[in-house]
Chain A
Amino acid sequence: MNGRTISPGKAEGEAIVSPEPIGFYGGIDAKTGIVIEKGHPLEGECVTDKILVFPCGKGSTVGSYVIYGLKKNNVGPAGIINKETETIVATGVILAGIPCVDQIDIEKIKNGDRVVLDADKGLVEIK
């Protein structure tokens, strides 16, 4: 699949897919990489070293700093794939240097799929 580069870089890993938007501030613990938002489809799961797939971001703009914190604490996702990356996530992945593409038909990616992300070219491949 071909999308738009938000933040360059390459990554490969297991997909963790959220059908719901993710708000990083108050949504994911920057120290552990575990989803902490009550009632979120990914609650209790860990995003570390995975390819995190979700439609778009939501919530506080401090979320950008949480994405940066995840990476700095070595518990961040290996890459991010969105339907539409809005500015909170875009800001976070660029500051953190996490590869990210958007404008991808994310319904085609299933939890546990092995995904190769070439964000330099905006390419997503399911193995």
Chain B
Amino acid sequence: MHLTKNEEKILNGENGEVMKRLFRLLVRLGDIYGADKMIPVGSVQVAGVSYKSIGDPGMEFLEDMASKNAKVQVLTYLNPAGMDLEDWKKYGFPADFAKNQLRIMDAFRKMGIVVTATCTPYLAGNLPRFREHIAWSESSAVSFSNSVIGARTNREGGPSALAAAICGVTPNYGLHLWENRQPTIKVKVDVDLDFNSDFGSLGWYVGKQVKNKIPYFTGIKNANTDQLKALGAAMAASGAVALYHIEDLTPEADLAKSKGLESITVGKKELKSAYEKLNTGKKPDIVILGCPHASLREISVLAEKVKGKKLKKPVWICTSRMVKEAAERMGYNEIIAKAGGSVVADTCMVVSPIEQMGYKTTGVNSGKAANYLPGFCKQDVCYANIDDLVEGQL
């Protein structure tokens, strides 16, 4: 890989031992993947935040970096943590877990990272522009920024994203290059998609089929950003789709070469079979919405549904702290709380220790959550649209 004089100096340790080591990591990853040079990044999103995921080894690494005065050079956000960072006691998160989680957050704060903890940084003040190079980690955020915004990122691991934040650059390979952003399979959608969960099951089905290919969708007539978020999240979870295009909807679709590709069709039958496969449980003892983190619109929909009613079982909706604050001003949080539900910030069901909190069956409307909950949280899953999930608890 070609390095500038300045970059050679970093590699020789002129900017200190931490920079040297992290820069070497980027150079080596660049060599492994055939990068020609480093490129500056506009922002970073770091994964590996929940104590449940990274454990003591990750916590000790981060504390060590912070104690050596590592500082980020660009706007850097974090993936969800293992708990609501403010109201963890109220929701019953275990105290020893909380202690370690707060140590991790403290290490990030010392490095100059914005202690945000969300998988939707683009809804919380970290919005890249079209064609901006970024280094993001969380798979649904990577999919959204590549596909819906048209920014450019590979799926970074926790340490490589942290290295990009501290060095301000990332190796130029993979999805940073236009030739690698071309679709590799066509997906014809021949079914009406109404609920966000329809987009989730479409995404889950397609991800299983195409694995790490780049799909080019036709036949999706309309979709808002909540629905695209659900689609991308599910595809990244069941497959490894980091970029997709939708004819007439996403910004690079018109520019990409979509002719002559192998194609698959998704109709009513396939969508229904995805719903069936994602359902492994019968009656949920908790319903958790907001995977990926809910937008203000999604919280307002839930508030509308439960206004003046009483929920039989807990209903959570997970979101970022910023969106929760906006929902607070609109009175949504109070409406949901009065009905017996909770607007939970900073965390999500996949990275929080819900299995330790006594829950066995979780109701979700997210294809991504339905994909991960059985393995990560030992949950049976009821997968349905928001109407059926919430009405089942009234």
**Which residues of chain A have a CB within 8 Å of any CB of chain B?**
6-7, 25, 30, 61-62, 64-66, 68-69, 72, 85-88, 90-91, 94-95, 97
Q: Select from chain A the residue with minimum beta-carbon distance to B59.
A: A65
Verify B54–A91 contact, CB threshold 8 A: no
Once the chains are docked, how many angstroms separate the CA of A96 from the CA of B57? Answer: 12
Once the chains are docked, how many angstroms separate the CA of A62 from the CA of B56? Answer: 10
Count of chain B residues with Cβ under 8 Å from any Cβ of A? Answer: 21
Chain B 302-333 interface 0/1 with A at a Cβ cutoff of 8 Å (1 = within): 00000000000000000000000000000000
Once the chains are docked, how many angstroms separate the CA of A61 from the CA of B47? Answer: 10
Majority secondary structure, A binding face? helix
Query: In the assembled complex, how far is the CB of residue A8 from the closest CB belonging to chain B, in whole angstroms?
Result: 8
Cβ of A94: which chain B residues have Cβ within 8 Å of it? Answer: 21, 24-25, 28
Q: Is B251 an interface residue (CB 8 A)?
A: no
Chain B 9-46 interface 0/1 with A at a Cβ cutoff of 8 Å (1 = within): 00000000000011011001100100000000000000
Chain B 158-180 interface 0/1 with A at a Cβ cutoff of 8 Å (1 = within): 11100000000000000000000
Query: In the assembled complex, how far is the CB of residue A33 from the closest CB belonging to chain B, in whole angstroms?
Result: 13
Verify B56–A91 contact, CB threshold 8 A: no
Query: In the assembled complex, how far is the CB of residue A78 from the closest CB belonging to chain B, in whole angstroms?
Result: 18
Cβ of A65: which chain B residues have Cβ within 8 Å of it? Answer: 48, 54-55, 57-58, 60-61, 158-159
Q: Given A61-B48, A61-B158, decide whether A90 and B57 contact each other with a Cβ distance below 8 A.
A: no
Verify B157–A90 contact, CB threshold 8 A: no
Once the chains are docked, how many angstroms separate the CA of A73 from the CA of B104? Answer: 19
Name, among A69, A86, A94, the residue most crowded by chain B CB atoms within 10 Å (CB to CB).
A94
Verify A64–B157 contact, CB threshold 8 A: yes
Q: Given A87-B29, A97-B21, decide whether A61 and B157 contact each other with a Cβ distance below 8 A.
A: yes
Q: Is B73 an interface residue (CB 8 A)?
A: no
Query: In the assembled complex, how far is the CB of residue A72 from the closest CB belonging to chain B, in whole angstroms?
Result: 7
Cβ of A66: which chain B residues have Cβ within 8 Å of it? Answer: 57
Q: Which 8 A-B pairs have the closest CB atoms?
A: A69-B57, A65-B57, A65-B58, A94-B25, A61-B157, A66-B57, A91-B159, A65-B61
Verify B57–A95 contact, CB threshold 8 A: no
Q: Is B192 an interface residue (CB 8 A)?
A: no
Once the chains are docked, how many angstroms separate the CA of A34 from the CA of B182? Answer: 45
Once the chains are docked, how many angstroms separate the CA of A40 from the CA of B274? Answer: 35
Query: In the assembled complex, how far is the CB of residue B124 from the closest CB belonging to chain A, in whole angstroms?
Result: 24
Cβ of A61: which chain B residues have Cβ within 8 Å of it? Answer: 48, 157-158
Cβ of A91: which chain B residues have Cβ within 8 Å of it? Answer: 25, 29, 157, 159-160
Verify B48–A90 contact, CB threshold 8 A: no
Query: In the assembled complex, how far is the CB of residue A57 from the closest CB belonging to chain B, in whole angstroms?
Result: 12
Query: In the assembled complex, how far is the CB of residue A71 from the closest CB belonging to chain B, in whole angstroms?
Result: 10
Q: Is B300 an interface residue (CB 8 A)?
A: no
Verify A69–B56 contact, CB threshold 8 A: yes
Cβ of A86: which chain B residues have Cβ within 8 Å of it? Answer: 32
Query: In the assembled complex, how far is the CB of residue B382 from the closest CB belonging to chain A, in whole angstroms?
Result: 27
Q: Given A87-B157, A91-B160, decide whether A62 and B57 contact each other with a Cβ distance below 8 A.
A: yes
Cβ of A90: which chain B residues have Cβ within 8 Å of it? Answer: 25, 28-29, 32
Once the chains are docked, how many angstroms separate the CA of A25 from the CA of B61? Answer: 14
